[in-house]
Amino acid sequence: MAESVAIPDRRQRRRQESIEEILDVALELMAEQGVAGLSLGEVARQLGIRPPSLYVYFASKNALYDAAFARGAKEIYDLYLDASQQVIATAQSADEALLRMGSIFIRWAIDHPVYAQLLFWRPVPGFEPTPEAYQPAVALMELGAELFAAMQDRRWLRSDVAADDLLRDWTIVISGIISQQLSNEPEVDFTSGRFTAALPSIVTMYVAANGVTTPARKPARKSTTTSATKESRRAHPR
């Protein structure tokens, strides 16, 4: 009896391999022809199968986009998790921490423009990521909030502004670098980009306004030279 259903995991593993293989090809083609220019026929052609066979593994073209989105979100989340732990453990200043985090994040985005466009822009009409695919992106934001709260705790960043606002402004400047680099110099890599090169000055700018030593934001009025007057209000207290 057990024999007839003996090796379901083998089949499933085989199936999973096929899914990953299709995804690999699809991502390659998106890199060549643009994210929204993906053709299932071309995917099938590259794999040596007929287009309808793809529907065994993906219910629709958008399901393929969703899987790509999920893979990219997971990848950047893992990378960011690892990086933030290292940075929290070893960084000596806000400048250093932000430079390292920004560098890792931006480098990944420029190295993976397809993921970056899929995750940060909306290039595919009609496609919305499912909550499952989107989940790592949410976790990524929470990770960011924790990191910024930790920097506030260390008095690296001012505490009279909510960590959420600090993080929002940080995402603005980082996504600004990525967005400008990808749209103005799409073929240039992280090392030689004109906009990626702005990261140090952008970090300095950020810290000039949000570091504890230089409260340049609309003054909190209550002398914020050292600490907050009535405690910080943070999104993810520890």
Residue 156 binding partner per list a copy of itself, DNA, none, with a CB distance cut-off of 5 to 8 Å that depends on partner kind: none
Q: Which of 182, 193, 212, 234 is the binder for a copy of itself (CB under 8 A)? A: 182
Among 12-20, 56-64, 148-156, 201-209, the segment contacting a copy of itself (CB under 8 A): 201-209
Backbone angles phi, psi at 128, to 5 degrees: -125, 130
DSSP track, 86-101 = HHHHH--SHHHHHHHH
Note whether 107 and 190 are within 8 A (CB). Answer: yes
Whole-angstrom distance, CA of residue 89 vs CA of residue 106: 21
Q: How far is CA 135 from CA 105, 167, 192, 226, in A?
A: 18, 18, 33, 37
Q: Which of 30, 35, 40, 150 is the binder for DNA (CB under 7 A)? A: 40
Quick check: 14 binds DNA (CB under 7 A)?
Answer: yes
Enter the tokens of residue 97.
């921490």
Q: Which of residues 117-176 bind a copy of itself (CB under 8 A)?
A: 120-126, 165, 168-169, 171-176
Enter the tokens of residue 194.
């004109």
Q: Which of 60, 184, 213, 223 is the binder for DNA (CB under 7 A)? A: 60
Rank residues 9 and 187 by Cβ distance to DNA and give the closer one. Answer: 9
Among 60-68, 84-92, 159-167, 204-212, the segment contacting DNA (CB under 7 A): 60-68
Least distance between DNA and beta carbon 47 (Å): 9
